[in-house]
Amino acid sequence: GQNIDQPTEMTATEGAIVQINCTYQTSGFNGLFWYQQHAGEAPTFLSYNVLDGLEEKGRFSSFLSRSKGYSYLLLKELQMKDSASYLCAVLDSNYQLIWGAGTKLIIKP
């Protein structure tokens, strides 16, 4: 079966750095997405990785290792507004998106 694993919940301090991991086992791989979802709102696109390595976009970076079936989302200089769920999703060989359950990130002052 296809599976995406993420921690259920993480807590971090305002101004700090946090890394949210995602591991996947899917039938084929055509890219990995990270989305942010604030409580009661729609998911919004953060990043896309298809090649190994780090993609940096402001305070957020996303890393991919295809050989390890592993990605992480790195959030720097955390702000209170970063409190949200972060969803990892993989595009499989049929170009279907397989979603993780999301990681709820709690930011404390």
**Positions that interact with another protein (CB under 8 A):** 30-31, 33, 35, 40-45, 48, 50, 85, 87, 89, 91, 95-97, 99, 101-102
SS3 82: helix
- Give the C-alpha separation, 20 to 54, whole Å: 14
Pair of tokens at residue 81 = 């507004």
CB of 48 to another protein, least distance (A): 5
CB of 42 to another protein, least distance (A): 4
CB of 40 to another protein, least distance (A): 8
17 sits in the region (left: phi over 0; alpha: psi -120 to 50; else beta) called: beta
Residue closer to another protein (CB basis): 48 or 60: 48
- Give the C-alpha separation, 80 to 71, whole Å: 24
Residue closer to another protein (CB basis): 13 or 27: 27
Residue closer to another protein (CB basis): 15 or 28: 28
